[in-house]
Structure 1
Amino acid sequence: MAHPYAKPQRAPTTYNDKYVVLYDFGDADHNEAIDEFKTLLQDLEEAGLDTEVRPGYDQSLLVFVKAPRELLGHAVHKSRVKDWLYGIIPNHPGGDKNTVVKGDYEAEDILSVYHLVNWPKDLGGAGITPGIGKWERVKSIFPLHNTEVNQSLLRHLSKRIFLAPEDLDSIRDLLGSKVAFYFAFIQTYLLFLSIPATTGVIAWLWLPRYSLAYGILTSVWCAVFLEYWKITEVDLSLRWGVNNIQQVKVTRPQFKYDKSYVDKSGRTHYYFPKWKQISRQLLQIPFLLFAMIALGTAIVSVFAIEILISETYAGPYKFYLEYLPTILLAVSLPYITTALEDAATWMTDFENHRTADLHEMSLTQKVFVLNTCTNYLPIFLTAFIYIPFGDDVVPRLEAVLQKLLATVGQKFVHVPFRVDSDRLKNEVIALTVTGQLSSFFEENIMPLLKHKLSGWYRDYRESRSQEATLRSIVPDEPNEAEFLARCRNEATLPLYNVQDDISEIVLQFGYLALFSPVWPIIPIGFLINNWIELRSDFAKISIEHQRPAPVRSDGIGPWIYSLDALTWLGSISTAAIVHLFSADKFGNGSWAMLPVTVFISEHVLLLLRVLVRSILHQAGSERIREDRNQRYAHRVRHLEEMEATKRAGLGLSVAERERRKSILVTGNDVFWTKQVEDGASEAFGVDLIRQIKRGEDSSSREPKID
């Protein structure tokens, strides 16, 4: 199926039936590499796949895997039938076990090829799992980028202010529903951001600082956006035919089960006790507490030193010492977070999730908690420790610092402490604006520069090396050189993880939900950033990453719960900030009434969410109603067919009735065959009626005794 954004080509290259397996044998000896490579080709060919081998960079091979038309078409049809059996789609796709069909879009065919390469042999695949088990030297499996379609679609997206549903369909057709849901999420979020951006400008120009009205409007906006997205998610999952797709997810190769069994329908189940999994998952509670304490200790320490030096110290080397906390944090935090993320990875593996989606989500959520602590804790410290209690806390810290400096022979010059009323706003600006800019640079510029530099260095090293390389031994054919150069380049690119991009947007939503009254024009920066982000992320996938397998998803997964939690925390944080800092004397709000304010704000938000959810769910969407009506029509049609069969049985002819009687007589059910055999059902029933009535008449004639 030709993609709507594809341009005509002189020699068209199809991308929907191929995969590339990158095999790196640099750390293997001669015989081991040969045996392993033979096994790789044998497993692929046993799955019915065609293979072609070309040299890659260094000591690696590119195995091009192609699914024959009949095999691919049968796999696509089998996948559709499976979706129908599990209720993912309402209509049977038709055909039989030998049916061969063409994918409705490019990603559908690519997904079937991915299944043929990656799925275990008992499900019809080759069982090639990169980096796992005997395939540790298989670095990746990936489909090739459809470069022309990528460029055409990117040009189209750059000309649109907001994306239409058809644009999201095009992304789904190219990259699959899992990636498309991210773009749908950021697009919906982008549309909604226009509201707080407008109200934020109004609040910044005309309303007082820490405006209660703006805080309430933002909390309402968060609740409405979240409930609207939940409906949009269902609507898109029905539009793309992936609603409840998690029911058909296969078991991860790393899943360690206690036993397996086959049910009556022939399905194989892998059993791992729930109590074991739950007990392992409970270990993340002490882990997250430890991680938060470790990160909190580092951030609080640096925060305290920074305040002391900038606010109270006026001695020598102050200019250099002011940068010391930032340097300490910049140096230590990556090591701390890397160690904690490694621990989170190990713990997620230990939890033994059955599917890849559950494993990925569990790991990403742990990392999200760590990022939340890193990003939000400095603002909370400024808002609820530094400004309200700075007069008490800072002098104590000053005394400790004075003792430490005295031990190294430095004299501490005391400067009277004075709370900086703009520090909270500056903290929010620093962590949002500069954070967005640095994130864009780290995501889009740094990987591109790194990849270019590594490519130049690799070419330089090969040109100076005296050793023979695969490409010098087997040079490329002239008509393949350009194509193979692009394939080798894609093989060196990193894998794309959509969860990282979703996490970034959810963190951004948290800034808006938690701290919007501090600086009301935050949403404008987010609006501009996300408009660019939506397009740059598509370019990032197309240029800086391997093309992801178009695996299917019915939404953004557990990130819904993160948005729920941030919305709830936002109602508390917004109420507390407005209560404390909107008083006439800055930062001198009544602490005694703060719990009351927080309690009222929290429960008002909960009631508001119930109301919004009720209204939006009653309104629903046209597609949800259409799907509900379609499924109801199927059930009604089935009942009507049963009723028609029943009525046809009641209107049998005399000959048909006699035939059925003869069938009953030949049966083994004595209860039914006795009277059928005698032909006395009618006479027997009449006799019963007469006997009962005769008994009633005789009892009515008996004399009554007073």
Structure 2
Amino acid sequence: MLPEVDLVITFRVSRKTSLLKRHALEDARKGEEQYGRLMKALSSAGLRAVARRGESLGHLLVFVSCPTEHVHTLIKRERHSDFLSGLPTTPVNLRKDEDEDVPLAPADRIRLVHASITSMPSDGGLGISPDAPEWDLVESVMALHDREFNEHWIHAWTTSRYVSVKQENLREQFGDSVAMYFSFLHSYTKALVFPAALGVLFLLFRLPVLADILHPHRPLLSLRFGTRGSFRVEKQRARYIDGFPWWKHELRMIASLPVILLFAGILVSILTGIFVFEAFVTQLYTGPGHKFIAFSPTVLFVLLVPRLLEVYQAIATRLTAWENHAHQSSHAASLTIKTFALSALVAYMGLALSAFVYVPFGEGIMRMVQVWLFKGSVRADAAADTLNTTAALNATEHTKGIWNVDTSAAGQKLNAARLRDQMFAYTVTNQIVNTFVEIGLPYVLRGVESFRARKANGNGKGDKGKKRVVFEDEKEKGGEEEREFLEQVRKEAALPEYELFGDYSEMVTQFGYVALWSTIWPLAPVMALVNNFFELRSDAFKITVHNRRPIPSRTDTIGPWLDTLSFLTWLAAVINSALVYLFCPRSQNHCNAGTGAAPSTLDKVHQHIISAASASASRDAHAPGEDGGAATRELLVTALLIALAASARALWHASEEVRTTERGEREVKRRFLENIVGAADVVAVADIGVNGRSIDGEEVVLDPEVVPEKPADDLDAAEGLGSFWDHDEGMQEIQRLTKEA
């Protein structure tokens, strides 16, 4: 019978790969002291804990199990805290004649035990967290997958129209945050059905209300999950500096803005330079290797943009930590906004330049680039264009071996399908690549790692060969079943932690493509709908196979992503109205600035750019034709006014269900009070810290039901698992590390 494990603490004695003997001994002594302190803290809190060897020398897996009595204590403490903070603690549909308690979901059990271990002593926890300086050898606190549920989820994909299981079942296994993500993805996918079916005709009418479709769905979920207002009881971060003035926190957040703007400016400059090089310069080069010069913008992008984003991400992480957020939700929201701001620039900058620069003014800009790069040749060509056609051909012939400088053919060098090709690449090709990176690439990487391990074992090198002896010892002590269990735990410990940021970022970015640029390619909603059908399943597969089990957390919102969606919705109204104005057929009277045959403002600006190129080539001080500056200002002002006029959107108001539930909260509290022994216990439990001490450090005397009990010795015997919980390998592994030194 396998042991019932709630959490696994990964503990690494040494974080270094190569050490001197003196350093190894110091690390071993430090590891022994911290490991002993860890086991003592867990035991004194009423938890069962035992260690097993990990995947390498000095790596330990500390298995933690919470007795049922202590779980009831944690439930009672949380309910008391929720009640005092005004949170619903009993399901609103609970009937009074129901005698049986609502069963505790696996995610809630994991969340309660995880919070009791990782939260700060001021919040009633042990403070054992990888972020805490006094626990720097603790790598992570992870939960193990429920393999039976995962297999059921994967098997049900073939028969379910959704993600295989009900929303409530997802919440019971992975917590509120993961359940809300899949609910958001499902709602967003359903919202794509109408624009995918009707195409561009109703696209502009749908965009301003799509975020409002998602907006009311969020509070309904928080009511259904019982997490509305959960931010009031959120635990403090391990690295939060208590007593920090609020105004200093706000000033530090404002101080981050110049850094964001600086990197945004650098990124825009790089992307604009790559755009000009790719859209114009590569089209003019006709010399040796011109077939390969088209790949140079991609090479430049790969070399420059990821490096810049990597540096920015490191700085943004430091800035967010420097801001000293009290709670993890606000910390994550601040980092999310910083990170997604530049990611959105990378995603949408190319399309914006193509839509607002390349397509309407491409021919004029192509001539300007020719003038800028090849002034002498183009000057002769431009002068001959107005005086002598033969001379122009001779000038072009003189340089056609390397560059095409014939300005009369500038328009022929433009790619009329550029915007459509870009949209196809972003909405189809990129999605396929992302799916492979999420699903296929981890298999490839694990295969490479397995090959290297087998090669090292075959040559008698590396730590893997030593691990075989360890496995034989485990087989003698725990049996084959325990050996397989430990091997599975080691595999899960080697997996990366699951981060919701990547999945949310991918979907919000896709929403931006559909909302901002679908007027360019009406099939974008169709491609997004098809992608999301597979995305629902690939994300579920990624969680169950390629990542650790998510640690459940209480939340009543999707965080800063809702504000991001609202902003993109507003921006979509601005951009789409501007695009409609710019690309409106010039033959239609309502698109022209004047009447009949009078040229439009767009035509005036275009002619101004072409005239400026010709004037620069011929060194004429004045461009021929009309006042291009006035036409440019007229175009920009008109487009801006039309865009702002179209950006109004309706505000969401609380639904009747929300108001009804708010009126029922008093009834929820009344029912909850029926389970409380006394008001004094409620206040005492709310102030409890670690080991019966309050936040102020004073001794608190409580009812015996509230104080956590030590795990009884007969519990292991009743479960038949004494051999697993009695045998600890932690100190043995640390002593092995000392011997290896």
TM-score band, normalised by shorter chain: 0.7 to 0.9
| Whole-Å separation in 2 of the counterparts to 1:292 and 1:424 | 23
Q: Residue 362 of structure 1: which of 297, 319, 334 is its match?
A: 334
Q: String of CA shifts for 1:516-545, please: whole Å, max 9, x gaps.
A: 100001011111111111111111011111
Deviating more after overlay: 537-546 vs 453-462: 453-462
Q: Specify the alignment match of 2:423 in structure 1.
A: 428
Structure-2 change in CA distance of 1:402 and 1:317 (3 Å): farther
The range that moved more, 352-361 or 313-322, is: 313-322
Count of matched residue positions in the alignment of Structure 1 and Structure 2: 583
Specify every segment of 5 or more residues in structure 2 that has no aligned partner in the other structure, as ranges.
17-23, 95-99, 379-399, 592-598, 603-633, 673-741
CA distance in 1 between counterparts of 2:455 and 2:352 reads 50
SS across alignment from 2:144: coil
Alignment-derived partner of residue 249 in structure 1 = 234
The residue that corresponds to 1:609 in the other structure is 650
Q: 1:44 aligns with which of 42, 45, 50?
A: 42
1:449 matched to 2:451? The reply is no
Instruction: Trace 1:321-400 onto structure 2 (pairs within 5 A).
Output: 321-400=293-372
Matched, 1:233 2:275: no
Corresponding residue of 1:21: 9
**Offset at residue 334 of structure 1 (A):** 1.2
- Per-residue CA deviation, residues 406-451 of structure 1 (Å, 9 max, x unaligned), is 9xx9943325311332212222222222221121122222233223
CA distance in 1 between counterparts of 2:529 and 2:340 reads 22
Per-residue Cα deviation, 1:367-410 (whole angstroms, up to 9, x for no partner):
1011100010011111111222223322232344448999xx99
1:413 maps to which residue? 404
Change (3 A) 1:67 1:460: farther
Superposed CA offset, 1:248-280 (max 9, x none): 1111111123xxxxxxxxxxxxx3212111111
Give me the whole-angstrom Cα distance separating, in 2, the residues matched to 1:92 and 1:537.
Answer: 29
1:296 to 2:268 alignment: yes
1:308 deviation in Å?
2.5
Equivalent position of 1:187 in the other structure = 186
* Partner of residue 31, structure 2: 33
Q: Judge conservation of contact 2:516–2:572 (CA < 8 Å) in 1.
A: yes
Listed as ranges, the gaps of 5+ residues in structure 1 are 1-10, 95-99, 204-213, 258-270, 639-706
Alignment RMSD: 3.0
Preserved contact between residue 88 and residue 669 of structure 2 (Cα < 8 Å): no
Deviation string, structure 1 residues 609-668 (Cα, Å, up to 9, x no partner): 24xx35xx4xx264x354134136679999xxxxxxxxxxxxxxxxxxxxxxxxxxxxxx
SS state of the match for residue 410, structure 2?
Answer: coil
Which digits, 9 at most, give the CA deviation of each residue in 1:524-582, with x for residues without a partner? 11111111111111110111111111011112011111111101110110011111113
Maintained 8 Å contact 1:47/1:124: no
- 8 Å CA contact 1:56–1:470 kept in 2: the answer is no
1:440 equivalent in alignment to 2:424: no
Letter of the 1:441 counterpart? F
Measure the CA separation in 1 of the matches of 2:456 and 2:560: 45
On the 8 A contact 1:405/1:411 being kept in 2, the answer is no
Q: Deviations over 1:102-134 (max 9, x none)?
A: 852111111111012212234443321115413
Structure 2: which amino acid aligns with 1:19? L
Question: Matched residues in 2 for 1:633 and 1:603: separation?
Answer: 46
SS where residue 8 of structure 2 aligns?
Answer: strand
In the alignment, structure 1 residue 483 sits paired with structure 2 residue 525: no
Moved more, 181-190 or 326-335: 326-335
Superimposed CA distance per residue, residues 465-501 of structure 1 (whole angstroms, 9 cap, x where no aligned partner): 2767466244343221111111000111111111221
Contact 1:311/1:417 (8 A) holds in 2: no
Deviations 1:493-519 (A, max 9, x none): 111111221111111111111111000
Question: Aligned pair in 2 of structure 1 residues 129, 580: CA closer, same or farther (>3 Å)?
Answer: same
The change in CA–CA distance for 1:83 and 1:519 in structure 2 (over 3 A counts) is same
Q: So what's the TM-score if we normalise by structure 1? A: 0.77
5 Å-filtered alignment, 1:245-644, equals 245-257=230-242, 271-402=243-374, 411-415=402-406, 416-418=409-411, 419-458=414-453, 460-462=455-457, 464-465=460-461, 469=466, 472-473=469-470, 474-476=473-475, 477=478, 478-584=480-586, 590-591=601-602, 592=634, 595-596=637-638, 598-606=640-648, 608-610=649-651, 613=652, 617=654, 620=655, 622=657, 624-631=658-665
| Corresponding residue for residue 170 of structure 1 | 169
CA contact (8 A) 2:142 2:551 kept: yes
Distance 2:300 2:377 in 1: 18
Residue 492 and residue 637 in structure 1: after superposition, are their counterparts in 2 closer, same or farther (change >3 A)? Answer: closer
The amino acid of 2:153's aligned partner reads L
In the TM superposition, residue 293 of structure 1 has moved relative to its aligned partner by 1.2
Summarize deviations over 1:655-701 as a string: whole Å, max 9, x none. xxxxxxxxxxxxxxxxxxxxxxxxxxxxxxxxxxxxxxxxxxxxxxx
2:157·2:537 contact (CA, 8 Å) conserved in 1?
Answer: yes
1:68 aligns with 2:67: yes
Asked whether the equivalents of residues 130 and 136 of structure 1 are also in contact (C-alpha less than 8 Å), the reply is yes
1: CA distance, partners of 2:516 / 2:578: 10
With over 3 angstroms needed to count, the CA separation of the structure-2 counterparts of 1:289 and 1:381, relative to structure 1, is same
User: Which residue of 1 is the match for residue 196 of structure 2?
Assistant: 197
Q: Tell me which amino acid in the other structure corresponds to 1:475.
A: E
CA distance in 2, matches of 1:137, 1:628: 45
Q: Is the 8 A contact 2:195 2:203 kept in 1?
A: yes
Residue type of the partner of 1:50?
R
Determine if contact 1:103/1:109 at 8 Å carries over to the other structure. no
Letter in 2 for 1:169: E
Letter in 2 for 1:251: Q
User: Residue 18 of structure 1 contacts residue 67 of structure 1 at CA under 8 Å; is this kept in 2?
Assistant: yes
SS class of match (2:11): strand
CA distance in 2, matches of 1:324, 1:354: 46
| CA distance, structure 2, for counterparts of residue 331 and residue 421 of structure 1 | 28
Moved more, 424-433 or 391-400: 391-400
After TM superposition, the score normalised by the length of structure 2 is 0.74
Q: What SS does the corresponding residue of 1:319 show, helix, strand or coil?
A: coil
Q: Contact 2:285–2:402 at 8 Å: present in 1 too?
A: no
Query: C-alpha displacement at 1:236, in angstroms?
Result: 0.6
Identity across matched positions, percent: 28
What letter corresponds to residue 105 of structure 1 in structure 2? A
User: Could you tell me how far 1:593 is from its partner in structure 2?
Assistant: 5.7
**Structure 1 residue 452: Cα displacement:** 3.5
Task: State the structure with more CA Rg.
Answer: 1
1:150 corresponds to which residue? 150
Tell me by how many angstroms 1:90 deviates. Answer: 6.1
Classify the secondary structure of the residue corresponding to 2:481: coil
1 CA distance for matches of 2:569 and 2:600?
24
Equivalent-residue separation in structure 1 for 2:418 and 2:220 (angstroms): 44
